[in-house]
Amino acid sequence: MPKAYAKPASPVASKKTPKPAAAGSGFDYDGFFKEQLDKKHKDKSYRYFNNINRLAQLYPMAHTGTGEHVTVWCSNDYLGMSKHPEIVDAMKSTIDKYGAGAGGTRNIAGNAQLHLSLEHELASLHKKDAALVFSSCFVANDATLSTLASKMPGCVLFSDASNHASMIQGIRNSRAPKHVFKHNNLTHLEELLQQYDLTTPKIIAFESVYSMSGYIGHIKEIAALAKKYNAITFLDEVHAVGMYGETGAGVAEYIDAMDDIDIITGTLGKAYGVVGGYIAANASLVDMVRSYAPGFIFTTSLPPTVMAGALTAVRHLKKSPVERAGQQLHTRMLKNTLTDLGIPVVPNPSHIVPVLVGDAETAKSVSDELLNRFKIYVQSINYPTVAVGEERLRITPTPGHGPELMDGLVGALKTIWAERGLKKEADWAREGGKAGVGIEGGEVEQLVKAADLKDMVDRAYPYALNTLAGGINKTV
């Protein structure tokens, strides 16, 4: 967690008028920048950005900067909705009608019916009074937490240690007192809450799916603590909306806990396949954020074409079980196959498949080898996104990653692990375990129960046939 907000040093060091810097002296800006970058290179946390251009008609394929085709196994386009014909058609027709841009901020010419319709749809999805769309969920989290905590007198924030950087930034920007509770540790959270009177405003911020580990937050239990200590809950469902629950409203919907949560935040840029973020809550809270949050007020709104695509995606996934069923089946298949081979998968109950490597340089080189030798793109994840020694490959199976593609990925990982002598699950166990790998009794049941998955698959098959038949009838 970042350190608390600190005021910048005063520009006036003394009452004496400072002398101008002599030629060739003064602060070495470029040297400072290079020094900071050198630190990143030395600790292996420097970020490399691969040139990956995803091909809509060949999903989940992409081409590199040289035009070479590769299979993408790490996209957050979890359900492949970015290329769904309904969404693409909606966006094409909207751009023909309304043009490319929004034309202004929400209160100056940038507030269209599509924005209002999408917010109404999102509020309905989460069974809340209202919703508010932002340019991204990073902005939504930052703006909402910083606005609420700075406006409520004496507000105290409680943040899970594994929270996303957007929430951390919002907490920092609020300048409000904060406590960081150990990841998913209810006892620690309660110990911190007990320090404050019921009259003290409190916000508990946490996630449903933690994207680098795949762990699931204790939603019902945290909601119960919030009720006991008179706090409000802020639940980030970014890596869950579209993928869990009867209508894709997230983990809270799947476990029947949406009514227990005060603020739900989500993204339109992952499972929904477009871009943008949002909050859903009661009407007065949403209106307060709308009225006070600079991150909402002072930025150009998202274009109508984006709103149309997002609205179509939300409505589609409210009804269709096809994409969720495909993702869940392929996730289970990959986790089981890798586990049988002893390749170290960080055990978790969600759709994320983290493969433990345990060293930053090695993780990067494995990612490079997958791309260059096997034409498979899987991004390595290093510090500070994960702890030092827990570096990993983050794999995200989608409905498009069928058996043939899966055989290619598994074969490549099997070859690399054998040729490099990388640690398997048994090796980690002999060392006492790491990141949940190789720990006795560390097996984890999947969040989506087998009976629910069977029901999803049973409903998905006729739905897919009906959708196909509808498409055929339209073309006849």
Active site residues: 270
Whether 236 and 136 have beta carbons less than 8 Å apart is answered as no
Task: Give the CA distances from residue 312 to residues 181, 268, 359, 469, in Å, rounded to whole numbers and listed in that order.
Answer: 38, 11, 42, 20
Q: Strand ranges (DSSP E) for 297-417?
A: 353-356, 376-377, 380-381, 392-395
Closest CA to 179 of 216, 221, 149: 149
Cα–Cα dist 58/181, whole Å: 44
User: What torsion, rounded to 10 degrees, do the Cα atoms 13, 14, 19, 23 define?
Assistant: -20
Distance of CA 63 to the CA centre of its chain: 24
Helix 304-319, helix 113-125: angle, nearest 10: 30
Whether 94 and 308 have beta carbons less than 8 Å apart is answered as yes
For the chain, what is the total number of helices (H) and then of strands (E)? 16, 14
Beta bridge partners of 234: 205, 263
Taken in order 172, 174, 179, 185, is the CA torsion positive or negative? negative
Whether 137 and 267 have beta carbons less than 8 Å apart is answered as yes
Q: State phi, psi for 246 to the nearest 5 degrees.
A: -60, -35
Give, as one character, the DSSP assignment of residue 387.
-
End-to-end, the C-alpha distance of the chain in Å comes to: 59
Closest CA to 453 of 352, 315, 326, 271: 326
